[in-house]
Structure 1
Amino acid sequence: MTARDTIEKKLTDALHPESLDVIDESHLHEGHAGHRPSGETHFRVHIVSRAFEGKSRVERHRMINAILADDLAGRVHALALKTLAPGE
């Protein structure tokens, strides 16, 4: 399973998003810290979930970081997040 697939599955299972887009941006970070020639190191996530209702941006990001803790400690170097509740 690719890192992208793993991220998508974990977020889907935990947050039941209405919308989820996981974009591998590793190719944009060649030569930067954490980049590997094989890629799958830098991701951008756009997610809309009811689980974020009433939560601050920091709380939402902490939720994502907790769900993906193992991946962030291993193969994923960077994660850019856009977290929204429905209607935002």
Structure 2
Amino acid sequence: MTEAGPLQAWIAGTLSAALAPTHLDVIDESHLHAGHAGWRESGETHFRLDVVSPAFEGKSRVERHRLVNGLLDDAFKRGLHALAVRARTPSEAA
């Protein structure tokens, strides 16, 4: 496993602090998008998230994605181009 880059670490820290997840994977998939829009050779442009948090209880899928995207607004300003989100409650992840 490779060491997390600065943006990947920031994303993980931001989501951990705000959502207190019971599970969090922040996967840099930038290498899969080489040559596509938004891709940079330095990476950290395309991420996949799998986050399980009680903070998602009672929220629709759209509300969960809006919450995550809002928390990561600065990441988009720092070069994040694409984000795939899987946001579940603990009961959904069981």
TM-score range, shorter chain: over 0.9
- Residues 1:82 and 2:86 are matched in the alignment: yes
Candidates 43, 47, 50, aligned match of 1:43: 47
**Structure 1 residue aligned with 2:75:** 71
TM-score of the superposition, structure 2-length normalised?
A: 0.91
Moved over 6 A (4+): none
Which residue identity does 1:67 align to in structure 2? L
**Residue correspondence of structure 1 range 18-29 to structure 2 within 5 A:** 18-29=22-33
Among 54, 61, 84, the alignment partner of 1:57 is 61
Deviation at 1:74, TM superposition (A): 2.8
* CA deviations over 1:37-87 (Å, ceiling 9, x no partner): 100100000000000001000000000011000111331000000000011
Give the counterpart of 1:8 among 1, 8, 12.
12
Percent identity among equivalent residues? 57
Aligned-pair Cα RMSD in Å: 0.9
Q: Size of the alignment, in residue pairs?
A: 88
Given the two structures, how large is their TM-score scaled by the length of structure 1? 0.97
- Mind listing any 5+ residue stretches in structure 2 that lack a counterpart? none
* Unpaired segments ≥5 residues, structure 1: none
